[in-house]
Amino acid sequence: MSQVSIEDIEAARHRIERHIRRTPCEPSASLRGLAGQPVHLKFEHHQFTGSFKMRGATNAVEQLSQAERARGVIGASTGNHGRALAFAARRAGVHCVICMSALVPKNKVEAIAAEGAEIRIVGRSQDDAQEEVDRLVKEEGMVMVPPFDDARVIAGQGTLGLELLEDVPDLAVALVQLSGGGLISGVAAALKARKPDIRVVGITMARGAAMHASLAAGKPVSVEELPTLADSLGGGIGLGNRHTFSMVRDLVDDVVLLSEEEIADGVRHAYWRERQVVEGGGVVGISALLHGYIRPEGPVAAILTGASIDMNVHHRLISGENVDLMQEAF
C-alpha cells in the first residue's frame, strides 16, 4: 500500500493549480514511427523554473504553518528542486537555504541564487549536502523540504499523473525518470489508482543509479555519485528512506539503465526532431525509445522533466560531440 493516496494527489492538485502551469502533452511523429505506437511527450520542461519540481515544492510550501514559515525552509538539491523551492518560498515570503554538492552544474547554482535563496556548497555528494541540511534543521530550527522522500512532495509530483491520463486516456506505458523516486512514486500512484494495468517504467542513467541499486539489494544503499549528463538524476535515496523506496518497489514495473551515449542521443533527438531544449535527465524516456528498450503494445507517454542544461554542453551535444563529463571532471 503506497503511503501517498490518490486523494492526497487530488488535494495537491487543488492546492497548487493556481501556482503552476498545466503543461502540454504533444504527440511525436518521429517517435511513433520508432515505437510503432502513439508516443506523447509531456512538456514539463516548460513548467515555471524549468522543471516538474515546482509541483512538489509548491505543495509543501503551501502547507506550512505560520510558525514554520517564520523559521524558513531548507533543502538539499541537485539543482531543480532547489530552484523550485526557492521560487515557491520567495513567492510565499519565506526565507530559503539550498545546500548542494560541488557536482551541481554552475548554471543550476546561479539559477537558484537568482531566485533569492541562500546557497551552501558542501562536499561532493547529495549526502554531504544533506548533512548540512540536517545540521541547520537541528541548530537553527529551519523546516526541511526534501527533494523527494516527503509525502507532500510526492503528492505534488503525482499531479503529473492525473494530467497524463486526462491527455492520453488510453495510455498503456508511462516512461518516468527514476532518481530519488519522488516523481515516479507520485505519478505511479496516480496512474495505477485510475488505471491499474498501466505499465510504469523507471528510466535512469547507468552511472550511479541509487534507486536501482537499492531495489537490487532489497533495501536503501549508498552508491558513488559520478559526473553524468543526467545530473538531475544523481544522488542517493537516503539510508533512512521512508516513502519512495517502498513505493517504487511496489508500483514500478521495470527499470531501464542508459549509457552516457544513449542519453546524449536523447538530447540530440529532442532538439533536432522535437525542437526542444531538454536536459540530460529530462530526455531519458526519449533515449529509451530510441534505443529499443521499450516495445510498447499501446500508447506511450514520456515526461520531459527539465530544461536546466548547461547551454555550452547542449551546443556540444547537438553538434555531435562525444561529451564525457567524467573525463572532464578528473
**Model confidence at 102: pLDDT above 70:** yes
Dihedral-angle region of residue 28 (phi above 0 means left; psi in -120 to 50 means alpha; beta otherwise): beta
Q: Which three cell numbers stand for residue 283?
A: 530526455
Mean pLDDT for the stretch of residues 117-140 = 92
Q: Per-residue confidence at 2, pLDDT binned at 50, 70, 90? A: low
Q: What is the mean pLDDT of the chain?
A: 95
Strands 39-42 and 25-27: antiparallel
Q: Tell me the average pLDDT across 70-89.
A: 94
Confirm whether 6-50+150-329 and 54-144 share one CATH topology. Answer: yes
Q: What is the pLDDT of residues 294-314, one digit of tens each?
A: 999 999 999 999 999 999 999
Span 175-231, pLDDT tens digits: 999 999 999 999 999 999 999 999 999 999 999 999 999 999 999 999 988 899 999
Neighbour count for residue 217 (Cβ, 10 Å):
9
> Reduced to 3 states, what is the DSSP secondary structure of residue 288?
helix
The residue extents of the domains of the chain are 6-50+150-329, 54-144
Share of the chain above pLDDT 70, in %: 99
SS3 255: strand
Kindly tell me the sign of the dihedral angle through the C-alpha atoms of 91, 97, 101, 105: positive
- Give the tens place of pLDDT for each residue, 148-187: 999 999 999 999 999 999 999 999 999 999 999 999 999 9
For residue 205, the cross-strand partners are: 258
Amino acid 90: pLDDT: 96
In a 13 Å sphere around the CA of 208, the CA atoms on its Cβ side amount to 21
| Chain position carrying cell 492525473 | 162
Which CATH number, 3.40.190.290, 3.30.70.600, 1.20.210.10, 3.40.50.1100, labels domain 6-50+150-329? 3.40.50.1100
Q: How many CA atoms lie within 13 A of 312 on its CB side?
A: 4
Q: Name, in order, each residue with C-beta under 8 angstroms of 310's C-beta and a sequence gap of 6 or more.
A: 105, 106, 107
| CATH class as words, domain 54-144 | alpha beta
Q: Cα separation of 184 and 187, whole Å?
A: 5
Tell me how many degrees the CA angle 161-165-168 measures, rounded to the nearest 5.
130
